[in-house]
Structure formats: structure tokens, C-alpha cells
Chains A and B, each alone.
Chain A
Amino acid sequence: MNRRRLLQAATGLSISLPWLEAFAAPKAPVGPTRLAFLFMPNGVNPNTWSPSGDGKNFTLSPVLKPLEPLRQDVTIFSNLRHAGADNGDGHYAKTANFLSGLQVHQTTGKDLRCGVSADQIAARHIGKNSVLPSVELAIEPTRFGIDNNVGFTQIYGGHIAWNSPTTPMPKEIHPRLAFDRLFGRSLLSTQASVLDEVSGDARDLNAYLGREDRARLDEFLTSLRALELRISRQSSQTTEDFSKLPQPAADQPKSLEEHMRLMLDLIVLAFQMNRTRVATFMFGNSVSGLDFSFLKGVEGGFHEISHHGNKPEKLAMYSRINEFHVQLYADMLQKMKSIKEGDQTLLDQSLILLGCGMRDGNGHVPINLPILVAGHAGGVRGGQHLNCPENTPFNRLHLSLLQKVGVPITSFGDSGTQPLEI
């Protein structure tokens, strides 16, 4: 059915030709699909998260109330888990593998190992055509050192995006630097002019190094190729003028809330301008002790509150913090919904997951993870509470998401070949 017939059918009117021509003129192409994963540390209050009722007939829990205006755009999942997160410690082993589901190898650093994350898989496919294959944003710097009590390096607690089983993707936490990377030019021509020379240096060295060192140098060469690719994409794209875009201030944001909102806005803007199609964001590192006492009734650090010991007053604070995260998520989704893209919206072309690698922070429970997905890319329906059978692999959802945004894979980790029907 062509557009004219469709329009006539819909309006029952015949329309004069000149207007129709204008209407039928080439429109902005339907945007590409986008994918983002937003990670919350420290779990959620298990009593106030899940909606009641299954399928389309569900009632949002108080904590999820901010999503009410968006309920047709959101799918709420129950009973997902990562089997690979059972072992290890309470936090690190449930953070670094949030997007891969594989076991996180206990180490203080010498043999880091966890799976390649879903966002990075997506970046290799749908990220190919944007300036940056993916962006990794956060608000806290990775903590230094190792957690001596459990024998895990803090690197695990600070990274959900893994480019290879041994290489985490570092995050940008400064809004202005993130902006510059997304919307500025990547390199000056002088900088670009030395790339050939330095890759020559690296090749000389490659012949000279041992196996492990060559793997390290490979990281450098791979990064170099990524950068060269980026430069060539940048120059092949029409030079858009981003100088009119509102820029975040050069200072660090004054409040936690402002910081979080700015980073989420940047993701929306980057998606809208097609600077990237894949993003991850961490609301905090695992074991984050961020101070949420700016919220009414909350006193103390997030991590300590998450160990609530079933005390009602702490559970109430815990819910309040969870609700705040959901509120920022909802506000981000609203923005995406207000951005038109062809006859759809940016949200229609995106999938945005919000979740955590554990449920109840008190006992670091790794089952029935709190997971939400918003958006309709690839025809995701939304508007339902998908109460899965107990212990459904979370990777089945990752498989669905990847397939919906157009990644041609048939399984992901322990997903099996059956993606979740969403």
C-alpha cells in the first residue's frame, strides 16, 4: 500500500496534489536502531520493585511509578538471572558480567577475564556506521586498588563494557570531555599525520616482543585502527556544524543529580545526531557509597543502605534511591519520545535497558534481577510485565535485544538459541 492510499484510508479525504507532493517528498530516513544499557549498582529493594499482575495487565509498583506515562513503551522483566554470577563475591562478580553473563575470574589483575559484553557485540555491527562505535559513560571514576577482602580488582566493579574477555572499555565521567569526544573533531590533522609513523614503531616492536607483550601491543594496534577508521568516517560524513549545540560546562557538575542527568542527556543527543548507536552508562561503581541524602528521608551511603538488614527505615531509603534512578530513566525516555525521526520517535528506534546484576543488595541475591527495557526498535512491543519462568537466563534477553537491533547472531553466552519473545 502506498503512502497516498494509506493516508486516504486513514483520513477519508482526498487531498490536493501539491500538498501531497510536498508530503511525499523524501523524508528523513527512518533512523537506525540504537541500544543503551544503564547499570545501577547495589541492587534494589526487592519488596517494592516488581509490578503486580502479569502480561499487559499489570500495576506498577511505587518505585516504578515514574514510568506510568510510558507504560506502553516499557517491558518489565521478572525472574531473569545470570548463572555465571552465582560464584565469586557479592558485587564484582555481578557487575563486570552484567552484559555477558559469564563468570568473572577472581584476580587482582594479572589475569582479568570475563565475557565480551553485549554492547560491544552490538558496536561491531550497528556501530560500524556511526562516528563512534560505542560510548561508555559513568559518573564515578573506577576505584583504584584491589578489594583485599575478596581478592578482586576494582576494575571489575567499574566496568560493564568489555571489548575482549581481557580488556574493559574505560569510561568517560566528565560531561564536557564526553561532549567533546562525541561532537568535536577527533584529532587535529597534525595528530593524524603521525599515526602512520607510530604504527610503524609498533610493527618494529612487534617483531621483538614476546607473546604476552605482543598481546598488549595488539591492544594498541587495534585502537589505532579504530581511530583511523573513525577519522575516515568523520571526513566522509558531511561536516555538520555542532558548534550551535548547547555544551555542558567545563567544570564538574555541582550535584550528583545534575551529573547523572547530563550524562543521560548526552546519550540522547548522541543518538539523535547519530554520533553513536550504542551506549552504556553506570549510575555508580559496584559497592558505590554515593551519598543520596539530597533525597528526602535518605541518610547515608548507597551501599550501606542496601545492606538494610530488613529494617523498615532503611528499606524505605533503599526504595527512595531506586525510585530516583527510575525517575531519571523515565525522564530520559520522555526526551527520546519527544524527538521525531521520520514518522516515528527516537524512542521507537531505540532499546534502553535499565537494570542491576543483583536483586536484593542485602544478601547480594543474583536471581530475579531487576530489569526494564524501553523502546520499540526491531518491533519490541512494550507495555507488559514479562513474568518469565524462574531462573530464565538473562542472556536470552540480551540475545533478543541484539537481534532486534540487527545483530545477526543465534546465541549469546548461555542463552541457547531461543531469544525472549519481547
Chain B
Amino acid sequence: MKMLLLLVLFPTLAFAESDFAEVEPLLQKYCYECHGTKKSKGGINLEKSKSKAAIVADFHNWQEAAAQLHAGDMPPVKAAQPSPEEARRLELWIGSVFTEARARGLKDPGPAPLRRLNRFEYDNSIRDITGFDFHPAQNFPQEGGGGEGFDNTAAVLHTSPLMLEKLLEAANASSLHLSYLPGPGFTFTAQPHQPLNDSQLLFFLEGELTCLRDAVLPQKLEVEVDIPKYMRAAWQHQRAVEKDPKANSTELAQSLKLNPVFLRKWVQFLNSKPRQAVHDTISAALKPWDDLKPSSDQAEVEAAIAALGKAYANARSKIDNAPPDEKAIHHKMLHQIKGQLMSLNHEEMKQLFTPQQDAEFTSLEQQIRLMKSLSLKSDKTASAQFSAQLRPQLEALLLRCWRKPVQAAKIAEIEAFFLKQWHQSSSLQHAAQVTFLRLLSSPRFFYRLEEQHQGAEAKGLNDFDLAVRLSYFLWSSGPDEELLTLAAKAQLGQESILRQQVARMLKDPRSRALADSFAAQWLRFREISQTHQLSNQRFPEFTPELRALFYEENAGLFHQFIQQNLPVAELFDSRMSWLNAGLAKHYGRPPLQGDHFRLVLSEDPHGGGLLSTGAFAAITSYPLRTSPVLRGNLILSQILGTPTPPPPPDAGKLPEDDHQGDGLSIRQRLEKHRANPTCANCHNRIDPLGFPLEGLDPLGRPRALAAGAPVETSSELANGERLSSLVDLKKHLRSKQELITRNLAAKMLGYAMGRELEFYDQVTLDQLDEQLKKDDCRLQSLITGIVLSYPFRHRRAQEPDGVAK
């Protein structure tokens, strides 16, 4: 009776259970012996999944099982074989479990656990906050990988005491690039610097002001040129005023190509009576001028001009030549004249400044005034004025560092922290640096926090969280002003705007992060820069410099493919290379000039694409020789996404070196190896993909001979298709574009989400398949598709016991 009730309530569940019982005997007979609870070869235990739900949860292994059945690779030849009907029934049944689950329209964005910034993201985030690329995170320990194979996977981004120390060191190093000025606020400098205390800062600001003034004021009066010109003009102006009291000295100055401001000063200096105090010697020298009458002739005027010029020149030469105790008086004389002629007020200065200089001048004056009043601690108005400036400056800095607005209380707390630091140190700049340090040392900076919610349903991400997901996906860095502004307006979530933003961000040079972080791990060429080993003796040319070129060749090319929005197959079947002079020479390609990299089209159909690069060749080689197995395996597991199970522990390895004496070529040895049915299963799939690349030596250079014998690049795929060279391999991969795209989509979705994919993600991948087929599997469509996908834009509800207060 109870059973019946259950059946009524949960018909599908009950059906599923009975359904499993139908195939269990087959599993027992053919699978569990090796892949069961007692023995789990390759770590695969099918026996633990005794329901459809359990199978769906362990979908990686079960999908693989179906694929193996389909290919006839499992059970292995030496084991009991199912009849073709049995194999087919089992395969179809496994398939139906997944079809059924997908048909239920699973919608689950999956977990989105807290992610710490990894080394690369930390460096980029700081670069984009400060505007300078100084790699504060270079000493972080290398993060291992997880999820779909990437070091941005939440689950592997641990924080240990060592890691925390490194985080704080990096925050400190970054904070030394911050400068603060009352007024302009936070600015950054290329070089780290110790902060100035407030009196030093005031001195510095005044110095800046003087420099700015000096930049537009003449440093000295030229006796031969300036004095006669301005005095003649002043005389002319005087005459004009007599005729018309409204006469304008500015027009006169312009017509004589003199500076109107200075002419006004000269007029004032020469014609005002009584004159401001000057030294007697100067008064005496001005006597001829003062004695001039309207009727005086030009000769008298020139004599008056010469008198002042002579006195001025005399004073100037005395500064150099007079006995020390007389020097001061001559200095004073010159300063009196210059002081009267050149001490300009702001209005007068304005006419000499460019608008930018003027703004700077105004700001400096304000800063100095503020610094001076702030130094009188009792000046309440100044403090209030300062606080009013500081608050929005802090808010802006907070937004850049923490990537989302925070509550007013938190801002007040940060402000109080700033002020406390300031009062303790009497250094605004110190307070600013410590405040920046405090923001960067916070988990809110180095963890990516998303808004959480409770309930049963997943929810759309808020715009700020979406901006963060987007910018770390495409740039491995924090969101820029534009993204933050769109988020603040709550517009980023709109599909059309998201599309625009993705297009903009991919055009931006920062999208290079997709090559340096995503592709370098997916295709493993990151190994080239650091860990991969080739024998130094055999390949002395494998220097750090060549490694760096190899790396750039791959990363730059991948970035080009993205920016040009090429179809996925082009990554491998292309004639495009990314080369500079050094690499062209290394490969024996037509010479290029210069160290900069550029796109080069290969005449030879073997060249071009990511398979024929030095990095690909090197990371798939042993220290002394190439390896068709490693090359085939990289294509099979990373590019096609169909890895083979691991070799049995005691599988033989080929010799280290292809320069060996037993007369067998690598091919002959591998053929011997494949004669063993245990090995053949996988090697029939692996080796044929590797042989066509044998024409490239461990450093990617074309070769016709290996170990003295002609290289053999032809092979036969398990389905009988023949590949005679790298060109055929490229064509073959093009024919597999949809398979490659599906794999790339899975990797990229895992990368974007920072987690391993689960069964429900297959729904997203199916949808991406559909979209991309219509668009020749173009890279930007793939990236946009991921951004627009359900998991990328949603967040699961918080688990029930994580009750928020």
C-alpha cells in the first residue's frame, strides 16, 4: 500500500529505479569487475551510482562509459565481451538518462563560491586601479589548477598564512604608488615613494607654484632688448593718454608684439607718481625719465632709457664682481625693479597662462590655502571643507578597490580611519597610503564577493556583480569606469548593452588576458615560460629569451584570432602566424625586420596556426626528442576534449632519445607497442594525431630527418582516414570544428564560472552549440554566448544554514 502511494506521488522516480534494475545485470557482468567498489581502475567506480539521479551526478564518468561502449573500446578485448545488442542497449540507456534529465529543462547556475584573486588577476586589478603595471603579486606562490583546468577556480584559491603575508606585502608595495594632494585627491605614481609629511607637502606645493610662475615669467630683464622696448612703448602710451585718457595699452602692446601685462606694469612703474620706494641709485637713474616733457625729442627719450639700462646693467654686473659685502645691495636693486614689473596677481597671471596652467595654478593656490588653514587645528571651516572633499574621493577609491558601492557606515568608518592616521602622523600622504593599504588588505578587495540571497530560486545577478564577473572573465581584472557607471545606472543587465560591452571589451587591449590566462592554460603553452624542460646540452638555443618569444607567438596569435572574430577551427587550421625577426630566423622563414610581433601569412600550407608553433612543439617533447604520443595526447585531450584513460602503471616508455642504436625508429617502437591490445585501445586514438607533427623538431623547426632517418609524418586514424602530413591534420581538425567548439565552450564556461562543470551545464553547452552552428563557431560569438548564458548571469540561493543576519 505504501509502495503504491509512493508510485502515485513520485511516478518518475519509481520508474527510474525500476529502469536501472533493467540494466544493472549488464553493468555487473561487464563493468563492475574493473570499475566497481572493489576495484576502481582509473579511479572510476560505476557501482556507486545505483539510480538515475546518482548517474546524472557522476555524469563525467558515465558519459565516458557510453562513449567507450560506442567506440567498442570497453570492455577491453581480453575481458568478457557483451553482445552487440547488449552493448547497444546499455549505451542507449545511459544516453536516455541524460536526455531525460536535460528534457526536464534543468536550470541551475551551479555554485558560485567565493573566489580569491589569483596572481594574474591581482596584478591586473592593481594595474587598472593605479594606471601602472608594476606586478605587485609577482612573488605569490604559483596557484595550482582545478575545475576545468584553470588557476582561477574558486576551489583551489586557498588562503594560507604564507599567502596572506604575500597579499599584505603586495598591498603595501601597491600603496607606495599612491600620492595624495588636498584638492585633486588620490593620484598614482609610476615609482613607489615614501609619503611627505604635511610641512614638507606645503613646501612642495609652494615650490610647484613657483615653478609654474617661473615657467611663464621671464627670468631676467634684457638690458639690450626688454628695457628699451618697453620704455619706448611706455613713452608712446603716455603720449596717447594725453590725447585720449581712455587710450588702451593692450592694443599698443599687441601692435608692437609686446606682452600687454608687462607693458601695463612698465607704464605703472614709470609713470606713477609718487613711485613706490626704490633704491636711490635707481631713483637717480630714473631722473632723466622723470624729467622728460611731452615735447622732449626722441634723443632725450633714448638717453633716459639708456640711463636706466646702464644702472640696471651695472647692478647686474656688480652682483658677480663686487666685493661680497656689496653684493646684497645690488641684488636688492634688481629685485625692486623686477618685483615691481613682475609681481603679478592671479588675474594678471591668468593672461599669461594656458587654460591648463591656469587650472593648475588655481588648484595649487587653493591647496596651499587649505594646507595652511588645516595646520591651524582650530580652523573648523577648513576641516569641514576638507571633509567635504575627502568623502567623495574616498568613495571613488573604494568603488575602484572594492568594485561595488558600500554602505554609508563603512565609508564613514574608512574616513575616520583616514583622519585618525592623519592626526597621528601629521601627514596626509601617509594617511592616504595607509588607507589604500587598508582597502587592499581587506577581503573585500582580494575576494570577489557577490550579493547572496535566500530562498529556493536562483536570482539574476545585480549589475555590479555582473560587471565583476564580466571584467574578470574578459580582462582578468576589475571593472573599469564605464562598466561601473552602467552598473550604477542598472543598465548593464540589458542584453543589448551587454553585447555592446562584450564587443568593446574584446577590442580593448586588456582582452589579451584571455590569451594569457585562458588559452595559455587550455593549450598549456604557459609551461613554456617556466617549467618545461628540454635538455640544455642538446638544445642550448632553448634560452629564456627564446621561451619568451615562443610564449608571445602563441598568446599573441590567440589574441589576434579573438580580435578578428575567426571561427574556432582557424585556431589550428590557419596560415596565420605571429612572428618577429628573431622567430622568423629561428624557423627559417622569410626574414622580418625588428623585434615587434606582427601577423605573417605563410606561403607553405604547413605553417600557421597554433599547432605549428615552437611552444606547442616544445611542451610536447621529452628533453631529448619529440613525442608523437604527447603531441597526439594534447590534441586529443585538450583540443578535441576526448582524453583517453591513464596508461596502466607498468606501461613501457620509449627511449629517452631518438639518437639510439637499436635501429628502431620511434614509429616502429610505437607500432610494437600498439601490437599489445592493452595499449592499442588508446594508442590507436593518440598516435595517429601525433605523427603528422613529426616534421617539427622539439623547437618547432621544420625537419626532414630525425635521428638520421627521414621523418615519417603519415598515419592512419582509427576510422581508416589517412593523414599524410600536418596539412591533413589541420584539415582533419577543421572537420571536427563542432567537437572542438563544444570542448572549448566547456573549458571557457568553466573558466568564466571558476568551477568544474556539472551535468546541468550541459544544457548551456547544448544551447551554445545551437547558436554557434549558425555562426560558423566564431570566437566572439562563443564569448558573447557565455556572457549571455543563464549560469553566467544568475546566482543560486544561499544554502539554508548560511542564514544572513
Residues of A with Cβ closer than 8 Å to B? 87-90, 106-112, 136, 140-146, 148-151, 153-155, 158-159, 163, 167-174, 177, 181, 186-188, 190-191, 193-195, 197-198, 201-202, 205, 207-214, 216-217, 219-220, 222-224, 226-227, 230, 289-291, 293, 299-301, 304-305, 307, 309, 311, 314, 362-364
Contacts and interface: CB of A to CB of B under 8 A. Distances in A.
A89 B437 contact: no
Given A149-B637, A208-B804, A220-B159, A109 B536 contact: no
A92 to B, nearest CB: 10
Interface string B541-564: 000000000000000000000000
Contacts of A107: 146
Nearest to B407: A204
B252 interface: no
A226 B154 CA distance: 23
A289 B533 contact: yes
Given A109-B146, A216-B114, A304-B622, 5 more contacts: A112-B156, A148-B643, A154-B145, A209-B114, A291-B623
B142 interface: yes
B325 to A, nearest CB: 51
Given A109-B155, A197-B438, A210-B802, A223 B533 contact: no
Interface in B160-197: 160-165, 168-169, 171-172
A202 B114 CA distance: 13
Contact of B443 (A90, A220, A222, A305): A220
Given A150-B43, A289-B533, A307-B653, A155 B144 contact: yes
B251 interface: no
Interface string B123-167: 000000000000000010111111111110111101111111100
A207 B805 contact: yes
A198 B443 contact: yes
B657 A208 contact: no
B678 interface: no
A133 to B, nearest CB: 8
Nearest to B141: A170
Contacts of B802: 209-211, 213-214
Contact of B162 (A169, A191, A300): A169
- The CB with the most chain B CB atoms within 10 A, among A111, A146, A151, A207, is that of A146
B646 interface: yes
5 contacts: A112-B155, A146-B147, A213-B802, A223-B164, A307-B651
Contacts of A289: 532-533, 622-623
What does DSSP make chain B's interface, helix, strand, loop or mixed? loop
B155 A300 contact: no
Given A89-B43, A289-B623, A219 B649 contact: no
Closest 7 CB pairs of A and B: A109-B146, A210-B802, A155-B144, A300-B656, A141-B142, A170-B141, A307-B653
Contacts of B142: 141-144, 158
Interface of B: 40, 42-43, 111, 113-114, 116, 139, 141-151, 153-156, 158-165, 168-169, 171-172, 417, 421, 433-434, 437-438, 441-444, 447, 449, 452, 521, 524, 526-527, 530-537, 622-624, 633, 637-638, 643-647, 649-653, 655-657, 755-756, 798-799, 801-802, 804-805
A208 B532 CA distance: 43
Contacts, number: 254
A213 B798 CA distance: 10
A187 B168 contact: yes
Contacts of B148: 108
A304 B623 contact: yes
Contact of A363 (B139, B438, B649, B804): B649
- The CB with the most chain A CB atoms within 10 A, among B158, B433, B524, is that of B158
Contact of B155 (A110, A154, A163, A220): A110
A167 to B, nearest CB: 5
A45 B434 CA distance: 56
B646 A149 contact: yes
A219 B144 contact: no
Given A89-B43, A363-B649, A154 B442 contact: no
A212 B452 contact: no
A169 B164 CA distance: 12
A146 B747 CA distance: 12
A106 B146 CA distance: 12
Nearest to B434: A190
A229 to B, nearest CB: 9
A109 B158 contact: no
A212 B111 contact: yes
B434 A193 contact: yes
A142 B622 contact: no
Given A136-B162, A172-B141, A307 B652 contact: yes
Contacts of A202: 442-443
A300 B624 contact: yes
Contact of B145 (A145, A198, A301): A145
A68 to B, nearest CB: 31
B149 A216 contact: no
Contacts of B111: 212
B433 to A, nearest CB: 8
Contacts of A191: 168-169, 171-172, 437, 441
B145 A141 contact: no
A219 B154 CA distance: 13
Given A220-B164, A364-B649, A148 B637 contact: yes
Contacts of B646: 89-90, 149-150
B537 A144 contact: no
Contacts of B159: 216, 219-220, 223
Given A158-B144, A201-B442, A146 B149 contact: yes
A235 to B, nearest CB: 16
B443 A149 contact: no
A108 B146 contact: yes
Given A108-B148, A144-B151, A198-B438, A363 B650 contact: yes
